[in-house]
Amino acid sequence: MSAVDIRDLRVTFGGVVRAVDGVTLSIERGEVVALIGESGSGKSVTLRSLMRLHPPRATKMEGTIAVEGRDVLAMTPRALADYRGPIVSMIFQEPLLALDPVYTVGEQIMEIILRHEKVSRKEARARALALFERVRIPSPERRLDAYPHEMSGGMRQRAMIALALACRPKVLLADEPTTALDATVQIQILLLLRELQRDLGLSIIFVTHDLGAAVEVADRIAVMYAGRIVEEGTARELIRNPRHPYTIGLLKSRAHGVMEKGTRLDAIPGAPPDLARLPPGCSFAPRCAAAIESCQIEQPPSFVVEGGHRARCFRWKDAPAQLGAQALGAA
């Protein structure tokens, strides 16, 4: 049984905005999968769907989501509340916004423990302290009594991770956990996540727009564009042998190695489509240099490149050569 099994997930906001449009993804136990894509590609929406965190009245969710064998979309509110925390929990992008400003971080960690387990306050506090030590927060005893605004960004994200791990979840969702942090702190947090994942056997879904961060922690990468997964495969395959023109574009738009001053980065031309009016064919076609006529008319199916490596592109065989992807693998 997979830790997470998403089948043909469709999420529509306000009846018109198709934020997620047929995502199928499965994550094995102990596996780290990165969802990458630009803003509005549906990666965070997919992630939040796993905990059903969207406002229920304005959101329509179709398809199936199974987490540790539980049918998430069929859960009653009570079952959903019991599921959030001990089975799945989430690390948010900006802990300063995701933590309640008027409670200390210690109280907030104790709160989730007391919510899900029958333990005394004293025990809950001891657990919170142990978690702070686990995520290597210096002088943890004192920091438990700090308010979120009294901590530094990196420290807050560690506290957020401690909070997320408080009820020993099986699946951890990380929503751009390093985006709001300094570059040096980003690496520390990524290494911490990787270490915790190994020690606790966690399955992690990690949303980011940073390919470097994805490669650093993920076993597998799924690239999202306009609400669909356009390419997925192991981190290695995707970097060495990208097949979808969008993945190739993302790889080319990174600054790698030492760049001459004045060298231009290859940005992907154009802008992502309006999710309320998606084109009938491939949604990347309007921006794609390798697009052919059928791309405008028909949605490409998911082609198997090799093993678990799949790409949703009619031209997956010859587009990489045309777009000069080979040079990337060597770089």
Residues in contact with another protein by the rule CB under 8 A: 48, 51, 53, 77-78, 81-86, 89-90, 92, 94, 97-104, 108, 111-112, 115-116, 147, 149-150, 163, 167
Measured from the CB of residue 206, what is the shortest distance to another protein in angstroms? Answer: 16
Strand partners, 229: 224
Measured from the CB of residue 53, what is the shortest distance to another protein in angstroms? Answer: 5
Which ranges constitute the DSSP H helices of the chain?
A: 43-49, 77-83, 95-98, 105-116, 121-134, 140-143, 153-165, 183-200, 211-217, 235-240, 245-252, 293-297, 319-322, 326-330
Q: Please state, in angstroms and rounded to a whole number, the distance separating the CA atoms of residues 54 and 199.
A: 31
Find out whether 220 and 34 touch, Cβ atoms under 8 Å: yes
Measured from the CB of residue 113, what is the shortest distance to another protein in angstroms? Answer: 10
CB nearer to another protein: pick between 6 and 112: 112
CB nearer to another protein: pick between 91 and 214: 91
Strand partners, 319: none
CB nearer to another protein: pick between 47 and 222: 47
Question: Strand 203-208's sheet: what is its strand order?
Answer: 88-91, 171-175, 203-208, 32-36, 220-225, 228-234, 309-311, 303-306
Measured from the CB of residue 212, what is the shortest distance to another protein in angstroms? Answer: 25
CB nearer to another protein: pick between 101 and 262: 101
CB nearer to another protein: pick between 29 and 115: 115
Measured from the CB of residue 25, what is the shortest distance to another protein in angstroms? Answer: 20
- Name, in order, each residue with C-beta under 8 angstroms of 14's C-beta and a sequence gap of 6 or more: 58
- At residue 161, the 3 state secondary structure works out as helix
Beta-sheet pairing, 303-306 with 309-311? antiparallel
Measured from the CB of residue 117, what is the shortest distance to another protein in angstroms? Answer: 11
Tokens of 245: 């023109």
Alpha carbon 200 to its chain's center: 19
CB nearer to another protein: pick between 57 and 277: 57
